[in-house]
Structures are given as C-alpha cells and as structure tokens.
C-alpha cells in the first residue's frame, strides 16, 4: 500500500513507524515543511498510561524516549505566599526536539522516506493519505465541506517559553498583579531545562501593557514581551534564564470536526482535534491516534474499514479528553473569580479543575493532602468529616448535610392535581434515605398552570391537606427538611405524561396555554396567549396563594421555579420574551415580572427561599453565562437565600453539551461571583451521580450544596450508602439501623459502567430530560 503522511510531527512520524513495522511492504512517504532540526515549543508531557501503550507498540522508540525522561509525581500550587503540594500524579516529560529526532531516526531506519522543507504535493494517487499537518491543517481546509471543522478561539493569551531553572514538580505559580491574575505553568523536561508558559485572560494581557508586535518573521520570537516577562517573573526565576523558540502570544484554538475522514484521507492529532495544554494532551493524543490508526489499518481488510474502525475507537476517548480540557481551559479563563479563595481551597480547586482528578482520587494518591483539606474545611464545625456531610444553613434553615433530592416531576397526581400515596412514599423514602433536604416536584399554582394532567398543585384546600400529610411524615420520621418548588408551566403546559411523549401536546382535553409572547415551544405545541397586565397580576396572586398554602402545609423551604422554559423562565429568556412593554426587551425588563412574583411571595413566606434558574438556554441569542450571573444577582439583591443552578429546556432547538457534571461550571461561576458576596447558597445540579463528585464540588468551592435527581431514583437511600462507603457514621432511621453496616463486595455508588466502554474512554450516560 502506498501511504502519504502530510506533516512530520510526533503523530505523523509515529504512525509511519508503526505502520511500516506492521507491514514492511507498505511504501510510506512523509512530507514536512520544516527542517529536521526545526521544532517549536520545549517539553512534551506523557501520562504513565500513554507510555504503557508506546512501550507495548514499539520498544525501540520507548527505550530511546525513556533515556530522556524527566519524571515527577508532585503538583505544587504557589498562591498568595503559600505552597501546597499534591503528590502521586505520575507524569513524564521530554524535549520535543529530542522526541522528533528519535521518531525521525526510527522512520529512516525502517526505510521510510521523509521529505523535509517540502510541502506535500498532490496526493491523489496514494492509497491512504494521513493529514497530521497540525491545527492549521491544509488538507482539513481543502476538504472542509466533508470534515465540517469548528475552530473556537478562546479568551486567554499564552506564550510558550523555556528556562534553565529545573523544576522539581509540575508548578502552578499564580501571580496577583495590578493588571489581574496571571498564571505560570511550569514543568521539567530534561536534566537542565523546564517548560515555562505564562497565561492570562485577554483583558489582563491588555491592562498589563503587552502588545502583539508587527512584522515578526516565521521563527522569530516576541523579545519585547519576553523581557517584560523576565521582570514580571523575576522572583520565580531567581536569576535563571528564560529562552525563546518562535515564542509569541497566541490564543488557544479548540478544533473539533464532524468527521475525521474524507474518502482515503484521514485526520490525525491536532488536525482532527485539539485539547488545551493545561492537561498536557496534544502530543499524547496525536501519538495515541497514530497507534490506533496503525492497528486498525493492520487489522481491517480495507482502508475504508480501517478508517471507520479508527474513528469509532478514538472519538469517544478524544471527546472525553476534550471535555476535560475544556473544563480546565475555562477554569483558567475564569481564574479571577477564585482570587480571594482561601489557599487551601484554591489548591484543591486548581488540581481538580478538569473534573478528572477528584476528591477520592486524590485521597488515594496523597491522603495527607486531602486530610489537611478536610481539616481546613471543618474549621467552623465540630468534627472532620467528608465535605458532603458537613452541615449547612440556608437562611435560618439548618441542614444536616449538603445533599438535596432534586425536584423531579413524577406525573402521578390525581386529575385534579392532588398528590397521592405515591408522593408520600416517593418523598418519604427519599427523606429516610439520608439527604439533608428533599424537594417536591414543581407544584403548580393553578389548574391551567400544570404541565400535564398528572402534575401536582397547590391551589385548593385539599392540596394543602395532602401535602401536609407528606411534610408531617418527613418531620416525624427523619432528620431531613422538606421544600416545595412552585411554578407555572406557561407555554409548556397541556402536554402528555413524560412516558407518553415528553413535551407533546395532549391528543384531547387540552387547556389554553399562556406566555409573555405568542411563541410556541415547538411547531407541534400550542401557540400561547400573550398575557395582559391584568392576567399577570392574577397569576402573581396565584403564586402568593400557593406560598401561603405551603406555609400551612408545613414546608421548611420554598423554591421559585424560574427555569426550564416554564412561565417565569420564559419571561427571562429573549428567545421566548419578545414583548415591547416594560416586561420585555432589556434584561432589566425581562427580570421585572419574575422579581415582582418573588417579592410578592417573600411578603407572605418568612422562611428560606431559593430560585431555580436556567443559566444558559444552550441556544444562540438566548441567556448565557454572563446574563445568568446578573439574574442571580438580581434575585440575591431581592432577598433570595439560594440559587439552584440548572440549564436549558427553554427552547426545543437547544443543543446542550451533555457530560458528567456538565451544568456545574455555571453554578461555580454564580457562587464565586454572587453567592459568596451576598451570602447566598448556590446549588449545583446536572449529571452528578457519585459522592466523589459531590465532595469534589463542595470542597473546591464550586457549589455549597448538590442536588441529585436520577441518582436518588436509582437508590432512594443513596446518602446513607454514601456515608457507609466513606466509613462516616451517619444516623440511620432506627427501623433501618440493622442494615447500616457496609455490605461486603464493593461500592454502592450508583449504576455500574459497562466495561466495554471503559476500554475506549469514559462511560456513556443516558441523558433523559427529567423536568423539575
């Protein structure tokens, strides 16, 4: 087979070497536009897992690499005059130039032709064309209509440098300068040198007086900026030198492609995907791609089958890595919001920023580090315990732990909105399960404010009596508190029960729906009636009456539902509110009616109030993270005790970025920009399924509490079981005490992932859209 490789970076060269070894009959030619000794950057990083694959695939390459490795186990966080060290991480790095030399020599030894200083010619007569030509791939651009790439330029500038200061660990230096927060990423890559990257938000870069010089030739470095960096980082460098190699300011570009193949042309490495350097993944991903592509080519009977198998095998892994890299990238973009965190919390936060390293993971790697953090977190409490089991206060309401059973619509009420024995058992069992707070589903403020005929209400005396039966049970039999979430369905009402067709209109018996503007949720749904001022006043009074009913029914907390496209949410979003009066237009106007309803409820409800918001509409032109902060600020200024941060479900055309804990970055931002300033509790929700995630989120200061929904459907006693798994002695209900000992044979921490998915990346998760 005649194989052409465009791009002589580590990925392209490694593929060529592996493919030639697997089949010496292949005729392989590599084209590289640079000279053999040209390389940009300094060190490249590998995890132990990646090195294991390289060793298995080609011992000659691995042995040559191993002799060059600088290894470390520790991550040092230097912040506000402190240094925190987290151990047990297991990485290796080496000179990028040495790596290229090793791979070039291996290719030459195997009889592979490498054309240096030569752009790839027309490759149409080759059996296979491997595009490993980097982030600015010419082949990807040539066939862009097939690959359908998206290139997202991010908001931090960074410059890649080297230094003769040999670090003894991976180093994060956080610099609090007059211009704002900057960070140094540093790690050793040889016996006498380290990589030294300075990164900062675009705004900080401008305030610091850096500029992008004009007229630099290819290969030239930005010497003016480098001299400024020498002065700025003089204390870190302690007299050591900083070196440059085509070093210029740049913004990271995240590359994603709809597919990686066009006929016999296949993308590899940065040409197909990029992942932010803060998780050390670029060269690692490219070489893993190369290994997979070479193996698939050898195992499959045709190029077409090989390319299909390659993408199927690698995409899940790459997607998982990009998700982690995106979390890390965004953390550094928003590092300023953590500037006043205690150094203990900041250190844990930065180490766990990608969500791949967690509380439990760190406890295994470095138990002393986590024990120190637990002791710090317990400073205002009676005893050291896992973060999720430290008590918390929302307003005047004391919760025994940080776990909330999230509101989840059950669609099991009587036709007149009356809660039934099902709700008693459902909520009672969750309260017996150990959570600090149990929330009802959205309880509707009127008959026509229901989502479905199976939704509960609080608009009649018999509703109060039925709900009081539930609250009495919870208070008499558990230490949990119980909250009610009240709302109005708006334009998303008059639909089928979820399992009959979520958000689909009823086939008969429909009631008229309403909203801020006559915009249907989808073409299949009713067009809502635009509410008049008198109707707005009437609905506000219905909210007040429901709140008064909640007082009489004995609830401990009230949550106002301003999320998921229901009535109050639809006033907030510009996609659903196109009014031209005082309730539409600017964010201030769109907030007006939800705040009026909130203020009216606050006048009759003296207990704690939380507000559930959708922090993004997941749709262009809708609410985004910036506006969600201002929405949270407005409710905090009006006296909300907590913000329950969900996302989406506002428009049917949304495109959510599903993944583990995918909504938590929004809670994180709101907590660190609004929550701490106003003393408002921030609740994180969204695909949080393990106690490890709960502990990680809370200890890092990304949320004060975590609400879990599907997890509690899987295991109503999840919190009790989480305590048993962590050997924390939580009080069990007396009738259940005999079962409080941890069963032998492993964790009970949620559904077990499929083993066949672990081999190629993170387990897949179903994302049914539970409404609530």
* Cβ pair 629, 670 in contact under 8 A: yes
* Cβ pair 393, 380 in contact under 8 A: no
The closest of 198, 175, 167, 208 to 85, measured between CA atoms, is 167
The CA-atom distances, in angstroms, between 690 and each of 360, 455, 461, 721, 726 are 10, 29, 39, 11, 12
In the annotation, is 566 catalytic?
A: yes
User: What's the rounded Cα separation, in Å, for the pair 70 and 88?
Assistant: 15
Task: Name the DSSP letter for residue 707.
Answer: E
Token duo for residue 253: 């570009």
Task: Name the DSSP letter for residue 210.
Answer: -
- Please give the angle made by the CA atoms of 430, 703 and 388, to the nearest 5 degrees: 50
- CA 209 to chain CA centroid, nearest Å: 32
* Cβ pair 619, 649 in contact under 8 A: no
User: What's the rounded Cα separation, in Å, for the pair 94 and 66?
Assistant: 9
Angle between helices 282-299 and 48-57 (to 10 degrees): 40
Please count the other Cβ atoms lying within 10 Å of the Cβ belonging to residue 586.
10
Catalytically annotated residue among 14, 126, 566, 593 = 566
The CA-atom distances, in angstroms, between 534 and each of 463, 530, 573, 602 are 26, 12, 22, 21
User: What's the rounded Cα separation, in Å, for the pair 412 and 2?
Assistant: 64
Q: What b/e readout covers 56-65, taking b as 16+ CB neighbours within 10 angstroms?
A: ebbeebbebb
* Cβ pair 465, 499 in contact under 8 A: no
Long-range Cβ contacts of 291-294 (<8 Å, 24+ apart): 291/14, 291/18, 291/53, 291/54, 291/57, 293/15, 293/19, 293/130, 293/266, 293/268, 294/15, 294/18, 294/19, 294/22, 294/57
Q: Where is 106: in which H helix or E strand?
A: helix 96-109
- Spatial neighbors of 245 by CB under 8 A, at least 6 apart, are 39, 40, 41, 42, 160, 162, 221
In 631-748, beta strands by DSSP E: 642-646, 681-684, 705-708
Please count the other Cβ atoms lying within 10 Å of the Cβ belonging to residue 577.
20
Handedness of CA 137, 138, 144, 150 (dihedral sign): positive
Token duo for residue 464: 């109060």
Active site amino acids = 566
């Amino acid at each position: 087979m005649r194989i052409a490789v465009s791009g002589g970076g580590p990925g392209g060269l490694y593929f060529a070497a592996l493919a030639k070894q697997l089949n010496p009959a292949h005729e392989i030619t590599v084209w590289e536009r640079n000279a053999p000794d040209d390389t940009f950057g300094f060190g490249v990083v590998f995890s132990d897992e990646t090195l294991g694959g390289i060793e298995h695939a080609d011992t000659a390459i691995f042995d040559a690499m191993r002799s060059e490795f600088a290894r470390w186990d520790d991550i040092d966080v230097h912040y506000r005059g402190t240094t925190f060290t987290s151990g047990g991480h297991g990485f290796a790095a080496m000179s990028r130039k040495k790596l290229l030399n090793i791979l070039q020599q291996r290719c030459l030894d195997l009889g592979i032709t490498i054309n240096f200083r030569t752009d790839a010619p027309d490759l149409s007569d080759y059996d296979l064309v491997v595009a490993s030509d980097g982030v600015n791939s010419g082949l990807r651009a040539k066939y862009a209509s097939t690959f359908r790439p998206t290139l997202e330029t991010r908001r931090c500038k960074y410059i890649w440098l080297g230094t003769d200061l040999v670090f003894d660990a991976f180093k994060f230096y956080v610099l609090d300068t007059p211009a704002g927060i900057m960070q140094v990423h540093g790690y050793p890559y040889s016996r006498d040198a380290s990589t030294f990257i300075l990164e900062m938000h675009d705004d900080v870069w401008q305030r610091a007086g850096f500029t992008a010089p004009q007229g630099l030739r290819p290969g030239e470095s930005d010497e003016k900026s480098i001299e400024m960096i020498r002065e700025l980082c003089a204390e870190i460098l302690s007299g050591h030198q900083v070196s440059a190699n085509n070093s210029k300011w740049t913004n990271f570009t995240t590359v994603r492609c709809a597919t990686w193949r066009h006929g016999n042309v296949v993308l590899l490495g940065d040409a197909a995907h990029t992942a932010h350097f803060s998780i050390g993944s670029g060269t690692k991903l490219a070489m893993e791609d190369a290994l997979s592509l070479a193996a698939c080519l050898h195992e499959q009977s045709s190029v077409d089958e090989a390319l299909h198998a390659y993408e199927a095998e690698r995409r899940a892994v790459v997607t998982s890595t990009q998700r982690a890299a995106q979390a890390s990238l965004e953390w550094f973009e928003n590092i300023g919001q953590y500037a006043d965190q205690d150094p203990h919390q900041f250190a844990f936060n930065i180490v766990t920023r990608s969500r791949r390293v967690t509380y439990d993971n760190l406890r295994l790697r470095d138990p002393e580090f986590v024990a120190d953090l637990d002791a710090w977190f317990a400073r205002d409490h009676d005893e050291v315990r896992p973060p999720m089991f430290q008590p918390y206060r929302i307003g005047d309401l004391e919760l025994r732990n940080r776990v909330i059973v999230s509101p989840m619509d059950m669609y099991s009420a009587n036709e007149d909105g009356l809660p039934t024995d099902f709700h008693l058992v459902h909520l009672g069992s969750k309260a017996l399960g150990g959570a600090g707070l149990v929330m009802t589903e959205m309880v509707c403020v009127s008959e026509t404010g229901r989502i479905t005929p199976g939704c509960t209400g609080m608009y009649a005396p018999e509703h109060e009596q039925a709900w009081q039966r539930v609250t009495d049970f919870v208070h008499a039999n558990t230490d949990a508190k119980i909250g009610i979430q009240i709302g109005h369905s708006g334009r998303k009402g008059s639909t089928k029960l979820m399992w009959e067709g979520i958000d689909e209109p009823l086939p008969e018996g429909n009631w008229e729906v309403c909203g801020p503007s006559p915009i249907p949720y989808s073409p299949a749904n009713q067009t809502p009636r635009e509410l008049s001022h008198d109707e707005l006043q009437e609905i506000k009074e219905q909210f007040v009456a429901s709140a008064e009913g909640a007082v009489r029914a004995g609830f401990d907390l009230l949550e106002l539902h301003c999320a998921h496209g229901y009535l109050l949410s639809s006033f907030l979003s510009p996609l659903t509110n196109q009014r031209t009066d005082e309730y539409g237009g600017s964010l201030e106007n769109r907030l007006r009616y939800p705040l009026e309803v909130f203020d009216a409820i606050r006048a009759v409800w003296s207990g704690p109030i939380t507000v559930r918001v959708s922090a993004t509409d997941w749709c262009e032109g809708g609410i985004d993270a910036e506006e969600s902060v201002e929405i949270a600020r407005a409710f905090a200024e009006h006296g909300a005790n907590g913000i329950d941060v969900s996302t989406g479900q506002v428009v049917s055309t949304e495109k959510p970025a599903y993944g583990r804990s995918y909504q938590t970055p929004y809670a994180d931002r709101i907590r660190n920009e609004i929550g701490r300033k106003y003393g408002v509790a921030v609740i994180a929700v969204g695909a949080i399924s393990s106690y490890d995630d709960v502990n990680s989120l809370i200890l890092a200061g990304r949320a004060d509490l975590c609400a879990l929904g599907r997890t509690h459907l899987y295991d109503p006693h999840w919190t009790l079981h989480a305590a048993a798994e962590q050997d924390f002695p939580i009080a069990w209900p007396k009738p259940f005490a005999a079962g409080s000992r941890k069963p032998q044979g492993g964790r009970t921490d949620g559904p077990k992932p499929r083993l066949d998915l672990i081999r190629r990346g993170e387990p897949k998760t179903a994302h049914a859209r539970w409404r609530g």
